[in-house]
Amino acid sequence: MRFRVSSRIEYEVRSPLVLLLNIRAHASEPQRILKETFTISPKVESELVITEPDKNRFDRVKVTKGGRVRIDYRAEVEVDHRLLGAESLRKVSPAHLDQAQLPYLLPSRYCQSDLFGRFAWQKFGAIKDAYDQVLAITEWIRENVEYIPGTTNSFTSASDTVTQCAGVCRDFAHLGIAICRALNIPARYFTGYAYTLDPPDFHACFEAFIGGYWILFDATRLVPANALVRIGSGRDAADVSLCTAFGILRTLRQDVRCQVVDQKLFQPLTEEELSGTAVSLDIKQT
Amino acid sequence: MRFRVSSRIEYEVRSPLVLLLNIRAHASEPQRILKETFTISPKVESELVITEPDKNRFDRVKVTKGGRVRIDYRAEVEVDHRLLGAESLRKVSPAHLDQAQLPYLLPSRYCQSDLFGRFAWQKFGAIKDAYDQVLAITEWIRENVEYIPGTTNSFTSASDTVTQCAGVCRDFAHLGIAICRALNIPARYFTGYAYTLDPPDFHACFEAFIGGYWILFDATRLVPANALVRIGSGRDAADVSLCTAFGILRTLRQDVRCQVVDQKLFQPLTEEELSGTAVSLDIKQT
Amino acid sequence: MRFRVSSRIEYEVRSPLVLLLNIRAHASEPQRILKETFTISPKVESELVITEPDKNRFDRVKVTKGGRVRIDYRAEVEVDHRLLGAESLRKVSPAHLDQAQLPYLLPSRYCQSDLFGRFAWQKFGAIKDAYDQVLAITEWIRENVEYIPGTTNSFTSASDTVTQCAGVCRDFAHLGIAICRALNIPARYFTGYAYTLDPPDFHACFEAFIGGYWILFDATRLVPANALVRIGSGRDAADVSLCTAFGILRTLRQDVRCQVVDQKLFQPLTEEELSGTAVSLDIKQT
Amino acid sequence: MRFRVSSRIEYEVRSPLVLLLNIRAHASEPQRILKETFTISPKVESELVITEPDKNRFDRVKVTKGGRVRIDYRAEVEVDHRLLGAESLRKVSPAHLDQAQLPYLLPSRYCQSDLFGRFAWQKFGAIKDAYDQVLAITEWIRENVEYIPGTTNSFTSASDTVTQCAGVCRDFAHLGIAICRALNIPARYFTGYAYTLDPPDFHACFEAFIGGYWILFDATRLVPANALVRIGSGRDAADVSLCTAFGILRTLRQDVRCQVVDQKLFQPLTEEELSGTAVSLDIKQT
């Protein structure tokens, strides 16, 4: 499916600073950038930094004086969401994970999986297949956590959410990741553009590593998995923050869009289909 | 029922300090002290302090030099556990609570009811009667929190327990209290001697204010409610700590006992009975 | 000094609920209410509840249907701030505290003094007199915590503030209280009207129990201590919240005023004077 | 300097599980393994996993049945601690960091640098050079945090330590890292063998990225920096845990040793020297 994504963000900065922006679409199989433009006004020096091993694409922007800075990004992206039969996906034991997946088993800033051991095994330990386990986790989250913008902030973590039972996509993802890791299922945070998200915004969900694939899961159920375009992935929101500022800034405006080029071709993956069909935005990992 | 309770505690203190001990049986209706002895070895000055309005009985002990201090307490106590038909107990609206019950609606150190609003209403809000609500809370706790000595410490609070899903009687009580208060049901921490508790120790559970009575609830289900002898009650463990030391001490030994005088007369209240029968260790509050 | 205080608050409520308002001036020596009016529009049933032992005056308001509710309070209050020679105030050992002061040594929801033991003794343990200790605590807070509205919320506690180093009057007070209690100095939260506070608002600071008096301390230094009119006092903000709502409400407007009747007579207590002069808004406790 | 290091660890496992051990000495310049043996008793399958980009060497051990498992590791390691003139080390702006260093600017599970912004800039922001800043951070930690085994556990994080003011090497390191990152200085957790550590044990400290080098800092000051042999480095203790167990195990015994081969040649780096001499256990990063 071909997507047109764009974001226009306007910041006010007080004094020179460096920004690390993470708003470009990812450029790794099965997602290809057909064209893209990235402009900063007023024009300042910037540099594309691609992280290893995740291939996240950061724009490092050197703002040299205070004032307003506007970022404009537009891209056309071809994304081949891979649909997989869920029944074929087996749990990968920590005994067989590659070193690249191991960090995604460990606790991180907002996903304190070390605290969730009993919680996870008690509630989801008896479910046989890993895919069904993670699906049950997302259902539990959706039933127990209310989606309410404004109830959480950038410090909120999975252990806060399990008490406070409210949050936004970021919080839903962090909680899902923490529980997966506690069950020894590698899980990572996913940020992206999302077609049909209303109101339009950047979106976050998570991927669990099952059957050799990073499988997409979205506990918010706000968009179908095949409507997602990857920006980046990491241990949690800290790794793929839309904007990491090494200095003080204020966001004045943020305008995010995501369209499919030929809307007639788009078939949203229904919730029922999800119980049998896994969606991956990555290639098979050996 | 007549109980014989005793505790022998031995501390090592480094230097002079004041201890506030809360180990005496409570002496208010429907609990009467028939006889009691309280001795400190070596002999040091001490004073009985009774708090208002809870009538907790603290021994303030002034240890004047370093070394070992042994506390011996023995009492014979007549306790008339009041059994009440649960169906007759109505929720008391905050509109009709007395000023004495109001503080038990507010968050405290280990019972952060302010964090538990959504959690509580989501899980227990739909249950019609307050007594059934609190019973459901205790059942939820027992199903979701494992009783495992050594997993928590004196800093552990209700919001920790809901993530970590393990704890001891103190943690079970704190979580129950936090949830009750979030539902606008006054709840307080109860410490006591407990007949049939194995291994013998001080015990903690909680009381919820329903139908004009402080009703006993024990999420651990380790002892029947009619086997409890009150030591004290307060907002949480901080208020009725067995020993608040204003200085540094080490506990060397602690030996707690609780017997009924005529064991043949004791009829443990079964779990089934609890669903219809409420137990109160207090008189009706106007 | 005679003060005129007023507050007008407008809430929007969705459905019937009970409010517990704590906005009336305290009516205990050395503070006397000369006249006061309290009106609710539209007119609904309300009741004055005075708590023991703190004599806080709560208005319990029973809102019977959704819509806007406006509260108007006006009072004229005579306040005799007692000025005491700081050098005469001796620390009161826990050995000599009355049962009424003991709860103010214990940790509470937002003042986790149990966590602050080493912190407190390390930084302030060597200071000889209790009054100087508390003054040093307020100076440390003012130097290390920035007063920045909007950085904290109603869940923020002393242990958050010591890491995040920002907050408002409520947070400054909670941190001061936590440190005092860790040093075995009883401390309580104070809310009040404050003359010269700019912009006008309710104010919070704290009282420490020294030399038989509850002495006022304000780590924010935003107003002189003799410009304060007590509303209430408690273990922390939970006990004397401006408004505890047993239901959902939204604050639409809040307008707070505090004037002295004869401004020519008002002599603000300077910061220099504070190092020798303690201010109490309470009578000597036996 | 040539070191002989060894560790013998004995676990009791209940049922089959996978262990990820991180006890081997690192094998990257300027540290070379001259010889090493790694044995497991009873003999079970194991595999050496080397992580990218940190080159940590994990032994993945597949324990196939319950019982005791003993791990024996011995190595002889040549370590060329690089001594650098501190005055030549300039702060590297986030504008010039390589993608490999960027993750070490972000908050992690035990190092919540996002919470420490004001704390860090207030206390250390005015210090001119990055090396002096980090040295000041370690001095602040040593003065404000007491080294007391048993006061913390595996859940303890930097924000706990700053309130509780006690901990062990792990906690000292986490706090140092959190503060560095808040100042935009990349910082990572270091685990190693440590000559002269008494009692002998694994040791933890941290590295800050300054002047193109990962420079060693140890807020505990328990061993000289040139007595350290690297095991691994990561975002915090989660990444380089001595043992990550995917199942339940109990440690029965742990015996760690570190000697220099020719003790006459060892010149401990004094604390005074540290103010001018930086120590690196890594090669210059471009």
From its phi and psi, is residue D234 left (phi > 0), alpha (psi between -120 and 50) or beta?
beta
Walk across the sheet containing B228-234 and list its strands: B82-85, B277-280, B213-217, B203-210, B187-194, B228-234
Q: For residue C120, what are its two tokens?
A: 């407190």
Taking an 8 Å cut-off on Cβ atoms, the answer to whether C102 and B49 are in contact is yes
- 3-class secondary-structure state, position B247: coil
Residues of chain B whose C-beta is under 8 A from some C-beta in A?
Answer: 112, 115-116, 118-119, 122, 144, 146, 159, 162-166
What pLDDT does residue D272 have? 84
Taking an 8 Å cut-off on Cβ atoms, the answer to whether B114 and C115 are in contact is no
Q: Quickly state the pLDDT bin for C251 (edges 50, 70, 90).
A: very high
Determine the average pLDDT of the residues in C139-160: 97
Give C-chain residues touching B235 at CB under 8 angstroms: 108
From its phi and psi, is residue D39 left (phi > 0), alpha (psi between -120 and 50) or beta?
beta
Query: What is the C-alpha to C-alpha distance for residues A57 and C87, in angstroms, rounded to an integer?
Result: 65
Strands A228-234 and A187-194: antiparallel
Query: What is the C-alpha to C-alpha distance for residues B216 and B81, in angstroms, rounded to an integer?
Result: 10
Q: Which of D49, D92, D99, D244 to mutate to test the interface with A (most CBs of A within 10 A)?
A: D99
Neighbors of chain D by Cβ distance (3+ pairs < 8 Å): A, C
Strands B146-147 and B166-167: parallel
Say if residue C47's pLDDT is above 80. yes
Q: For residue C45, what are its two tokens?
A: 């049933």
User: What is the secondary structure of chain A as a DSSP string?
Assistant: -EEEEEEEEEEEESS-EEEEE--SPP-STTEEEEEEEEEEES---EEEEE-TTT--EEEEEEE-SSEEEEEEEEEEEEE-PEEEEGGG-PPPPTTT--TTTGGGGS-BTTB-GGG-HHHHHHHHTT-SSHHHHHHHHHHHHHHHSEE-TTS--TT--HHHHHHH-EE-HHHHHHHHHHHHHHTT--EEEEEEEETT-SS---EEEEEEEETTEEEEE-TT--S-GGGEEEEEEESSTTTT-SEEEES-EEEEEEEEEEEESSGGG--PPPHHHHTTEEEESSPPP-
Residues in chain A where the model's pLDDT stays below 50:
none
Give B-chain residues touching C15 at CB under 8 angstroms: none
CA proximity to C179, closest of C148, C157, C152: C157
Walk across the sheet containing D277-280 and list its strands: D82-85, D277-280, D213-217, D203-210, D187-194, D228-234
Q: Quickly state the pLDDT bin for C272 (edges 50, 70, 90).
A: confident
Q: How far is CA B263 from CA B73, B133, B255, B279, C183, in A?
A: 22, 33, 21, 20, 47
Taking an 8 Å cut-off on Cβ atoms, the answer to whether C163 and D116 are in contact is yes
Which residue in B has a C-alpha nearest to residue A178's C-alpha? B163
Give C-chain residues touching B243 at CB under 8 angstroms: none
Query: What is the C-alpha to C-alpha distance for residues A181 and A133, in angstroms, rounded to an integer?
Result: 12
Which residue in C has a C-alpha nearest to residue D157's C-alpha? C163
> Which residue from D119, D146, D159 is facing C118, i.e. has the nearest CB?
D146
A152-160, long-range: CB < 8 A, 24+ apart: A154/A237, A154/D114, A155/D112, A155/D114, A155/D115, A156/A110, A157/A109, A157/A110, A157/A111, A157/A112, A158/A110, A158/A111, A158/A112, A158/A113, A158/A116, A159/A112, A159/A115, A159/A116, A159/B159, A159/B163
Query: What's the pLDDT tens digit per position in B131-168?
Result: 999 999 999 999 999 999 999 999 999 999 999 999 99
Farthest-apart Cα atoms in chain D, separation: 57
Taking an 8 Å cut-off on Cβ atoms, the answer to whether B62 and C95 are in contact is yes
Where do we find the tokens 């209240």?
B269
Q: Are D261 and D2 in contact (CB under 8 A)?
A: yes
User: What is the secondary structure of C203-237 as a DSSP string?
Assistant: EEEEEEEETTEEEEE-TT--S-GGGEEEEEEESST
What pLDDT does residue B246 have? 94
Q: For residue C98, what are its two tokens?
A: 């009355």
Q: How far is CA B41 from CA B69, B244, B279, D74, in A?
A: 6, 18, 38, 54
> Which residue from A109, A155, A239 is facing D109, i.e. has the nearest CB?
A109
Query: What's the pLDDT tens digit per position in C64-107?
Result: 999 999 999 999 999 999 999 999 999 999 999 999 999 999 99
Distance from CA of C190 to the nearest CA of B (A): 16
What pLDDT does residue B179 have? 98
Residue A173 CB neighbour total at 10 angstroms? 32
Q: Are D12 and D68 in contact (CB under 8 A)?
A: yes
What pLDDT does residue A214 have? 97
Q: Which of C112, C118, C121, C157 to mutate to test the interface with D (most CBs of D within 10 A)?
A: C118
What pLDDT does residue C275 have? 84
Which residue in D has a C-alpha nearest to residue C162's C-alpha? D163
Q: Are D234 and D192 in contact (CB under 8 A)?
A: no
> Which residue from D60, D94, D244 is facing A18, i.e. has the nearest CB?
D94
Q: Quickly state the pLDDT bin for C152 (edges 50, 70, 90).
A: very high
CA proximity to D209, closest of D131, D140, D275, D136: D131
Distance from CA of A247 to the nearest CA of B (A): 32
Query: What is the C-alpha to C-alpha distance for residues C17 and A75, in angstroms, rounded to an integer?
Result: 52
Q: For residue A179, what are its two tokens?
A: 């529980």
User: Who's near C5: CB < 8 A, 6+ residues apart?
Assistant: C25, C73, C74, C75, C77, C193, C229, C257, C258, C259
Neighbors of chain A by Cβ distance (3+ pairs < 8 Å): B, D
Dihedral over alpha carbons A129, A135, A138, A139 (to 10 degrees): -110
Q: Which of A44, A99, A101, A159 to mutate to test the interface with D (most CBs of D within 10 A)?
A: A99
> Which residue from A118, A144, A146 is facing B166, i.e. has the nearest CB?
A118
Query: What is the C-alpha to C-alpha distance for residues A181 and A169, in angstroms, rounded to an integer?
Result: 18
> Which residue from B95, B106, B154 is facing C114, i.e. has the nearest CB?
B154
Q: Are D109 and A108 in contact (CB under 8 A)?
A: yes
What pLDDT does residue D87 have? 92
Which residue in A has a C-alpha nearest to residue D61's C-alpha? A95
Taking an 8 Å cut-off on Cβ atoms, the answer to whether B163 and A122 are in contact is no
**How far from chain centre, in Å, is Cα D55?**
14
Q: Quickly state the pLDDT bin for C285 (edges 50, 70, 90).
A: confident
Neighbors of chain B by Cβ distance (3+ pairs < 8 Å): A, C
B/e letters for D136-174, b = 16+ CB within 10 Å, e = fewer, are ebbebbeebbebeeebbeeebbbbbbbbbbbbbbbbbbb
Q: Are A133 and A124 in contact (CB under 8 A)?
A: yes
Say if residue C240's pLDDT is above 90. yes
- Helices (H) and strands (E) counted in chain D, each on its own, are 5, 16
Query: What's the pLDDT tens digit per position in B213-270?
Result: 999 999 999 999 999 999 999 999 999 999 999 999 999 999 999 999 999 999 999 8
Taking an 8 Å cut-off on Cβ atoms, the answer to whether B144 and A122 are in contact is yes
CA count, 13 A, side-chain hemisphere, C38: 16
Q: For residue C196, what are its two tokens?
A: 């010269």
Q: Classify residue D122 by its DSSP letter.
A: H
Task: Report, in this order, helix, strand and coil percent for chain B, each rounded to 5.
Answer: 20, 40, 40
Strands B203-210 and B243-246: unpaired
Residues of chain A whose C-beta is under 8 A from some C-beta in D?
Answer: 18, 20, 49-53, 58, 60, 62, 93-95, 99-100, 102-103, 105-109, 112, 114-115, 154-155, 184, 235, 238-239, 244, 246
Which residue in A has a C-alpha nearest to residue B146's C-alpha? A118
> Which residue from B115, B146, B165 is facing A163, i.e. has the nearest CB?
B115
Query: What is the C-alpha to C-alpha distance for residues C97 and C211, in angstroms, rounded to an integer?
Result: 11
Q: Quickly state the pLDDT bin for B272 (edges 50, 70, 90).
A: confident
Taking an 8 Å cut-off on Cβ atoms, the answer to whether C118 and D159 are in contact is no
Which residue in D has a C-alpha nearest to residue C160's C-alpha? D159
B/e letters for B236-274, b = 16+ CB within 10 Å, e = fewer, are bbbbbbbbbbbeebeeeebebebbbeeeeebeebeeebb
The sign of the dihedral angle between the CA atoms of D106, D111, D117, D122 is negative
CA proximity to A38, closest of A52, A55, A57: A57
Give A-chain residues touching B115 at CB under 8 angstroms: 163-164
Taking an 8 Å cut-off on Cβ atoms, the answer to whether B109 and C108 are in contact is yes
Distance from CA of C65 to the nearest CA of D (A): 42
Taking an 8 Å cut-off on Cβ atoms, the answer to whether D144 and C166 are in contact is no
> Which residue from C115, C116, C165 is facing D122, i.e. has the nearest CB?
C165
User: What is the secondary structure of A158-223 as a DSSP string?
Assistant: HHHHHHH-EE-HHHHHHHHHHHHHHTT--EEEEEEEETT-SS---EEEEEEEETTEEEEE-TT--S
Which residue in D has a C-alpha nearest to residue C117's C-alpha? D164
CA proximity to B244, closest of B87, B31, B59, B97: B59
Query: What is the C-alpha to C-alpha distance for residues C103 and C188, in angstroms, rounded to an integer?
Result: 9
Q: Classify residue C25 by its DSSP letter.
A: P
> Which residue from B53, B109, B112 is facing C107, i.e. has the nearest CB?
B109
Which residue in B has a C-alpha nearest to residue C246's C-alpha? B184
Q: Which of A118, A123, A143, A159 to mutate to test the interface with B (most CBs of B within 10 A)?
A: A118
Give C-chain residues touching D122 at CB under 8 angstroms: 144, 146, 165
Give B-chain residues touching C158 at CB under 8 angstroms: none
Residues in chain D where the model's pLDDT stays below 50:
none
Q: How far is CA A213 from CA A33, A216, A236, A281, D262, in A?
A: 22, 9, 19, 9, 51
- 3-class secondary-structure state, position B190: strand
Taking an 8 Å cut-off on Cβ atoms, the answer to whether B155 and C114 are in contact is yes
**How far from chain centre, in Å, is Cα A275?**
21
Give B-chain residues touching A166 at CB under 8 angstroms: 118
Higher pLDDT, C273 or B197: B197
The answer to whether ipTM exceeds 0.85 is yes
